[in-house]
Amino acid sequence: MGRAVAVIGTGQTKHGRRDDLSYPDLVREAVKKAFEDAGITPKDVDGVVYGSMPSMMEGVAYNHFYFADALRTVGKPLFRTETCGSTGQSVAHTAIHWVASGMADIVLVVASEKEHEGDAQATMMTILEPFLMVTIGGAPVAFSLQSREWMGYYHIDEDKAREAASIVSVDSHDGGLNNPLAHIRVKLTKEDVSKAPIITYPVRLYDVCPVSDGACAVIFASEEKAKKICKKPAWVKGIGFRGEEYFIGDSSKAVWQSTIEASKEAYKEAGITNPLKELDVAEVYNPFSYQELMFLECLGLCPPGEAPDYVIKGTFSPGGELPCDPSGGVLCCNPIGAAGLIRVAEAALQVTGKAGEHQVEGAKLALSHAMGGAMQFNGITILGSEL
């Protein structure tokens, strides 16, 4: 195996509607914070990995060129990795491979989105090819279909699923209140969620993530450098990535193979056999609360079809056996390209005890995850406090 790799610093913008600065300056805000956190300067970095959603999002193609200065990549190599919604995980994986290969010692990873400068839903319509799939159109439609498929497949009572989804939403929004950088910071009750206006049945307003501006930067380093520079690095324990068929009808989205296989790969690398017991915290990609329920099953954190029972009994709530998305998750902040990397950064904060008000006490092993494409791609990164 290659060299051990660690996170030695993270930086996130204040997420939300950021009309106060330009897109390059949004990127700069996150990059600056990551350097301050790691206590190094741009000259210490060997290269940069950047990613975002497609160019149609903000209307600038290959925007890493535009951000060259903000990314502090001038005079250095740059990789642009992009896998749609799972971009945030994929950019981290590029950096991990790069450092592990021995071709770089310190790599800066940045991902960003400034959704208020474009039309995110219109862009996502163009992920679907124009002849057959376009009729499915847009994230809420696709994910509502998936929720229905999942409930039907496991014969899950709709009221029970509704209650569990409401708990996911309430827990996430409570997390958002504890996270000063989160976009949505409101106190919600289960009734607020279950009685909110319907977006596409069964998904209601508070089951849906917001449209956010935000950037995230994470600095990865080799074992030798990490030990020298950083008092408490977050070690990369395992990674996994899988993608399935393009056409949505070609595979089951209730038993989500790409999530299942990606997590199995990451657990194997991390030496985890019982993820629910061994993990201390999970940052699950939850742009829709119903999706988090499916992810909990496919990530192997509870048996298939039983996520609602586990959620209702509080397994994944604050203080539960495995708290999920203490940062508020994607439900409270979704700059899409960055959302997967924010999960990695949050996992790093948790295992190094730097998460502040939303810290899970004594967290040592954390899972981060993101999903993308036409419900196609799943990426996982597991971080731990011990090498």
Which CA distances in Å does 83 have to 27, 151, 279, 281, 373? Answer: 19, 28, 26, 25, 7
Out of 17, 39, 41, 65, name the contact with another protein by CB under 8 A. 65
Out of 78, 199, 255, 276, name the contact with another protein by CB under 8 A. 78
199 to 258, contacts with another protein by CB under 8 A?
A: 240-246, 257-258
| Count of other CB atoms within 10 angstroms of residue 59 | 11
Q: Which distant-in-sequence residues (6+ apart) come within 8 Å of 249 by Cβ?
A: none
Q: Which is nearer to another protein, 35 or 67 (CB)?
A: 67
CA distance 184 to 202: 22
Out of 36, 39, 103, 356, name the contact with another protein by CB under 8 A. 103
Amino acid at 297: E
The residue whose two tokens read 């380093």 is: 221
| 179: nearest Cα among 13, 297, 32, 55 | 13
Q: Are 35 and 229 in contact (CB under 8 A)?
A: no
Q: Is 147 exposed, middle or buried (0-12, 13-18, 19+ CB in 10 A)?
A: buried
- 145 lies in the site for another protein, by CB under 8 A: no
Residue 13 DSSP SS3: coil
Which CA distances in Å does 193 have to 147, 227, 283, 290? Answer: 16, 46, 21, 12
Please report how close the Cβ of residue 72 comes to another protein at its closest, in angstroms. 10
Phi-psi region of 72 (alpha: psi -120 to 50; beta: other; left: phi over 0): left
Q: Which is nearer to another protein, 15 or 64 (CB)?
A: 64
Please report how close the Cβ of residue 79 comes to another protein at its closest, in angstroms. 5
- 130 lies in the site for another protein, by CB under 8 A: yes
- 59 lies in the site for another protein, by CB under 8 A: yes
Residue 312 DSSP SS3: helix
- 115 lies in the site for another protein, by CB under 8 A: no
Q: Which among 37-45, 96-104, 312-320, 349-357 is the span making contact with another protein, rule CB under 8 A?
A: 96-104
Which CA distances in Å does 347 have to 153, 225, 360? Answer: 32, 20, 10
Q: Which among 58-66, 189-197, 277-285, 295-303 is the span making contact with another protein, rule CB under 8 A?
A: 58-66
- 97 lies in the site for another protein, by CB under 8 A: yes
- 90 lies in the site for another protein, by CB under 8 A: yes
Out of 31, 40, 45, 127, name the contact with another protein by CB under 8 A. 127
| 200: nearest Cα among 134, 157, 145 | 145
Q: Which is nearer to another protein, 103 or 186 (CB)?
A: 103
Residue 150 DSSP SS3: helix
Q: Which among 81-89, 142-150, 158-166, 226-234 is the span making contact with another protein, rule CB under 8 A?
A: 81-89
Please report how close the Cβ of residue 1 comes to another protein at its closest, in angstroms. 6
Out of 149, 223, 261, 306, name the contact with another protein by CB under 8 A. 261
15 to 54, contacts with another protein by CB under 8 A?
A: 48, 51, 53-54
Q: Which residues bind another protein (CB under 8 A)?
A: 1-3, 48, 51, 53-56, 59-62, 64-69, 73-84, 90, 93-94, 97-98, 100-103, 123-124, 126-127, 129-130, 240-246, 257-258, 261, 265, 372-374, 376-377
